[in-house]
Structure 1
């Protein structure tokens, strides 16, 4: 057992462990992230990939929906219409004869909102928590595979790509720059 004042040593994963995680999670990690797992895993402020009692997952990450990892990461433009349709269907109190019927309708609507919110980060892992509901995402699937995005929904309801100039930021670029949010817009 490590001493309480010493951080636990974080060893890299073996190739067999990385393949096992990929198989279980239903993804193939982008090359730069795979190399990181084989050489560093959990160094710095990056959530460590590890196998726990429930299987493979990221230490410190309770927001990634593991069931949606194999689904392509959606560009924000792809769900704006869904948001608008859902917003337009929000139950209004004055449309219901009693409070219970309104409460039931509103709860069903809110559950639909939660499903849409989960879909917004499908195919991405919350690789680093930034506090107060903010997170850095690494996209694992789809056309944006290997790119870093910033989940700023806590204040502006947006998920934004990280950029260096006009180019997407890769995991290696992000890590080399100290795991900071880069050129978000």
Structure 2
């Protein structure tokens, strides 16, 4: 059975809840008040995840936002304010280590349709759009099981893994320039959420 990748890309993109969380409010405190234990549990239950311990203490003891994208409830449910990148439909799927899909990405790159293989422009365009949509789905799945907790400018973001073997680890989404998602490390080890709070993500990336 042939996959309609254009339809699949549209379906998977709906998990971003763009309209609900992408625009900042007209007025927002620089450091929103902490959330209650009941609110944290409600968010976890609704999202189908358990927040990593160190992160969980942050909205509970310090602030619902501040350094990280604010965790809040909208008409669509719980999510992160100012974040249009987290795919909430993929949060319960394990975050894939980049090494696990490198060969698949190379194979997908190699399948980009060449224009000379098609009898006319329309046939080529239709094939290329299907390939491009498949690539879009592939890229979206790279951040399964992770939340975009901080925007770092120029298309860069910091990810916190919430599902799978790498749960609790932090990653730098550098795809805007280098097409890579890279681990954040401190002194050669994965940086903890607590240590990350006092540093800049760009200082913790080995480019």
**SS in structure 1 of the partner of residue 196 of structure 2:** helix
**Runs of 4+ with deviation above 4 angstroms:** none
Matches for 1:61-80 after TM superposition, within 5 Å: 61-80=83-102
Q: Structure 1: any 5+ residue segments left out of the alignment?
A: none
Matches for 1:42-81 after TM superposition, within 5 Å: 42-81=64-103
Count of residues paired in the alignment = 181
**SS in structure 1 of the partner of residue 134 of structure 2:** helix
Q: Which residue matches 1:108? A: 130
Residues 1:62 and 1:98: Cα distance change in structure 2 (over 3 Å): same
Q: Which residue matches 1:118? A: 140
Q: Distance in 2 between matches of 1:76 and 1:5?
A: 38
Q: Distance in 1 between matches of 2:189 and 2:39?
A: 32
Q: Structure 2: any 5+ residue segments left out of the alignment?
A: 1-25
Matched, 1:23 2:55: no
**SS in structure 2 of the partner of residue 107 of structure 1:** helix
Higher relative contact order (CA 8 A, sep 6+): 2
CA contact (8 A) 1:163 1:182 kept: no
- So what's the TM-score if we normalise by structure 2? 0.82
Question: Post-superposition shift, 1:43?
Answer: 4.1
Matched, 1:137 2:135: no
Instruction: Determine which of 186, 193, 204 is the counterpart of 1:164.
Output: 186
Residues 1:179 and 1:12: Cα distance change in structure 2 (over 3 Å): farther
> Over aligned residue pairs, what C-alpha RMSD do you find?
1.7
Q: Which residue matches 1:174? A: 196
Q: Which residue matches 1:150? A: 172
- So what's the TM-score if we normalise by structure 1? 0.92
Residues 1:91 and 1:83: Cα distance change in structure 2 (over 3 Å): same
**SS in structure 2 of the partner of residue 150 of structure 1:** strand
